[in-house]
Amino acid sequence: MSGTNSADRILAILDVFTEERLEWTPEELMAELGYSRPTLYRYIKSLKETGFLASMPGGCMTLGPRVVEMDYLMQKSDRLVCLGEPYLKQLCDHHPASSLLVRWYGSKLLCVASECSTPNALSSYPRGRPMPLARGAISRAIMAYLPRRQLEPMISENLSEFASIGLGSTCDEVMICMKQIRRQGVAIAYGEVTPGVVGIAAPIFSDTNAPIAALCVTIEARETDEKRLQRISDEVRSAAANISAELGKYPNQTVEEKPIRRQA
């Protein structure tokens, strides 16, 4: 951790908490991060006082209530969520499905909002749970629109995964699939993330025309046919385009200052 400042070192403590590892003791943190005991305890004290960490029985720590508070504030302020929720509801009104808004940040895909019109959600990834990068319609809907210099390394790093789902065994073959998605404006995947479920996703762009998210509908394969699949594809593509247009239309206004347009 040499060469990093105190803020980076504090954030590194929060970064070790994952779905696979929800609790840590101070001793485990010292071994993981290489901090001295006085330094670690100083950072822990600050994080506990501000609510980012909480003590658990047995000397363990986990993420604290401040994280929940900030998640609430994010839902209230995230322009993508505020603009996208009406479209999520509309898509679920039209189909027995789940609809999701998924943000792309760094090298992660994260669901930030969802709706469902079936008894059970047709997604294995609720809000806040990172999604696999090399599987599913959502990842390809975003990756297909990344610059080649950014996309090629990602394909190379995940080539075995792409090959396992039939997208190609070489970088060039996968690139051909990505170009086809760009032409269609929508990506479709069959059971790649959740067995028996079809995912249909389209990219959402920022005001700089960079892909920042995807809108996706997931529906049971037995509930769809070619005609419905085409209809969902058209609706998802159109809704994603509308959200993109709204995101770029009022870059300096809050969502509350303008109406949210709904599809007919």
Domains of the chain: 6-68 (1.10.10.10), 78-257 (3.30.450.40)
Res 35: pLDDT: 95
User: Which residues of the chain are under the pLDDT cut of 70?
Assistant: 1-4, 250-264
| DSSP letters for the chain | -TT--HHHHHHHHHHT--SS---B-HHHHHHHH---HHHHHHHHHHHHHTTSEEE-GGG-EEE-HHHHHHHHHHHHH-HHHHHHHHHHHHHHHHSSSEEEEEEEETTEEEEEEEEE-SSS-S-S--TTPEEPSSSHHHHHHHHTTS-HHHHHHHHHHTHHHHHHTTS-SSHHHHHHHHHHHHHHT-EEEESSSSTTEEEEEEEEE-TTS-EEEEEEEEEEGGG--HHHHHHHHHHHHHHHHHHHHHHHH-TTS-GGGS------
- What tens digit of pLDDT does each residue of 44-72 get? 999 999 999 999 988 899 999 999 999 99
